[in-house]
Structure 1
């Protein structure tokens, strides 16, 4: 080229590509290949590729499949086979990293190993085992910002399922490579959706739905501040009544605000609310959108078991399961797309996944070398 772009400008442009598209460029030239081991580029690419590109599917705590929703992103078949060939439980997924419990000799022989895994790169890194006895739960990830938008280290909030008012909460610091907190915290005795947390700044949110009076649900959102280690119970909007067959979910809105999504089986509608602070500093909800499933072509009452919001640039996709099918709805133009049919959908857990190049850690290894 007579006027080639400077390498730093070229790297900035390429960092907007998802991992799958970037790997296709590696044979083009030496500059592209060198970027694949440049830590600043890898973290920049992870920062610009936050949108959900697909879902890992667990059924009865065992990995089953991967469903893509972005045609320009994907997971290599070798990574899928890696999870299929081992007894694995996915605890959480964020920023292109998947946190997995693995057992080599069956679930009744010894403690499981905890690994952080990047499916797009085909790498993994073992983490120190959490303190105490293993129990089923979920992991939320708080990425640490170095000031220019690039996230380096992270903190894990590992909450395990308990059948009493106190939940066991453990916090892992990737920079210190150690678990820095292990305590029981009062979350009000609620059953939390541990597999689908939302992290906004220093706060982790979980949705909670519990059977209350006849055919009604006592729902709320539970917040945990990773910095000061305090909790808060946030009630849902006052004019929202949750019936037994309704569904609630939480997501991020425009990358910064907490969004509450409620699906009403009776009215066949999705209603989206944003969490804002009121004038007195207390949290309050503001309704931002309603989506009618009848307007999308569904003519009978719909049972929805899962719902999440995915954002890419100016596009917002509402992804949900209706009966045994996974759909996405573009809430900007109302376009509906069938993503996949689901088998045994009553016992499925969907983990959103972003297609990034984020390193697993300093001691990461290739799956092919295992």
Structure 2
């Protein structure tokens, strides 16, 4: 007390805490409580807490539950119950915000509505209706950096499936509070993993390794440049031919590079590549790591249904599912952990989540008041 810290220094220190830990400090003093409504502090905390702290589970296209991987971060049970009662379909999650599709019942039909939630804060905000029909698909989020690391605004890329070879793509600008693009994109008839996009700068990436119309289409990574509204198909590495029971995923590596993850059921290995530009400017792949499941104690051939990479500081976690069990592997020291059993869910979809205080928007409302 003889040498108190300035309030701005206190705010800077506390901004490194996950949302769950911050809320425990609110009763301590007036200064901490005031920070809970300080927009700059909320955004700074969101900037410092970008690591994956858990996963939301959708099963049969309906929200089911939440699995934490960070003991110091989490989602209030009241928010989880609120989301579960509304037959919510999660379309995407980024920066602590969860984008969902809900049905608003009218006189004659159920009208799908897009919402953005911050479940840690217990708030939500309705998004303007996009052009065309709201339907299942995926949302990618491009946060806009204002120069000091604080990201106040964002753009959404809402991609939905079509029976044709084209994908319906719409872009939302949070500054204009309007949908600024509505067009069809041609990715060569590939079935994309719309629920797990990766955003690097102005480019959104999706992985593709599926059969469509009973024909095998070469696996690849597809890219969409938000600024230029241009698409690109990036072929797999030459030694990463994907067989029928193999699994691929994409993630960010060290916060800037695209990482391709492939699990081969035949070899029982994870192999990781980074996407770099070659001398002629074309994209090329560089292998960075191989991980053997046999060396981790898995003795029989395993089918991996989901894989993602989570980074926090210098720690890299490879998170994957085998036989409906979710595991995490610390790539740095080789520590393997069983996170949760998924036996109650039929082919679940997992959405990575970061525990932040980021506001949903200017017109957000409290869940407890609904």
Provide the C-alpha distance between the structure 2 equivalents of 1:123 and 1:338, rounded to a whole number of angstroms: 31
Q: Which whole-Å deviations, capped at 9, do the CAs of 1:132-160 have from their partners, x for residues lacking one?
A: 12322110000011011110111000001
- How far the C-alpha of 1:346 sits from its partner, in A, is 4.7
Please name the residue that 1:100 is paired with: 100
**Cα offset for 1:103?**
1.7
Residue 193 of structure 2 aligns with which residue? 193
Matches within 5 A, 1:7-156: 7-105=7-105, 109-156=109-156
Question: Structure 2-normalised TM-score?
Answer: 0.97
SS in 2 for 1:163: coil
Give SS of 1:82's match: helix
CA distance in 2, matches of 1:311, 1:189: 32
Report the CA distance between 1:189 and its aligned residue: 1.2
Cα pair 1:216 1:241 within 8 Å, conserved: no
The corresponding residue for 2:289 is 289
Residue 205 (str. 1) matches residue 242 (str. 2): no
Q: Give the Å deviation of 1:166.
A: 1.4
Deviation track 1:303-338 (CA, whole Å, cap 9, x = no partner) reads 000000000111100000001100000000110000
- Distance in 1 (CA, whole Å) between partners of 2:256 and 2:238 is 23
The answer to whether residue 180 in structure 2 is matched with residue 180 in structure 1 is: yes
Moved more, 109-118 or 250-259: 109-118
Aligned pair count reads 369
Cα displacement (A) at 1:220: 0.3
TM superposition shift of 1:131: 1.0
**Residue 4 in 1 paired to residue 4 in 2?**
yes
Distance 1:71 1:142, change over 3 A: same
Work out whether residues 103 and 112 of structure 1, in 8 Å CA contact, stay in contact via their aligned partners in 2. Answer: yes
Secondary structure in structure 1 of the residue aligned to 2:181: strand
SS of 2:295 mapped into structure 1: coil
CA RMSD of aligned residues (A): 1.7
Residue ranges of structure 1 left out of the alignment (5+ in a row): none
Shift of 1:345: 4.8
Normalising by structure 1, we get a TM-score of: 0.97
State the SS of the aligned residue for 1:111.
strand
**CA contact under 8 A between 1:268 and 1:301: conserved in structure 2?**
yes
Partner of residue 348, structure 1? 348
The corresponding residue for 2:271 is 271
Shift of residue 344 of structure 1? 5.1
Paired with 1:69 and 1:152, the residues of 2 have a C-alpha distance of 27
Q: Which piece of structure 1 moves more, 341-350 or 353-362?
A: 341-350
Please give the alpha-carbon distance, in whole angstroms, between the structure 2 residues aligned to 1:47 and 1:25.
19
Distance of 2:301 and 2:217 partners within structure 1 = 19
User: Residue 43 of structure 1: SS of its match in structure 2?
Assistant: helix
> Aligned residue for 2:251?
251
SS at match of 1:112: strand
How far apart are the structure 1 equivalents of 2:282 and 2:18?
38
**Shift in alpha-carbon separation, 1:149–1:164, aligned structure 2, 3 A:** same
**CA distance change for structure 1 residues 72 and 236 in 2, over 3 Å: closer, same or farther?**
same
Provide the C-alpha distance between the structure 2 equivalents of 1:169 and 1:2, rounded to a whole number of angstroms: 59
Structure 1 residue aligned with 2:312 = 312
The C-alpha deviation readout for 1:21-56, integer Å capped at 9, x for no partner, is 000011111111111111111001000100000000
Give the secondary structure class of the aligned counterpart of 2:209.
strand
Kindly indicate whether the alpha-carbon contact (under 8 Å) linking 2:53 and 2:73 is maintained by their aligned counterparts in 1: yes
Tell me which residue corresponds to 2:331. 331
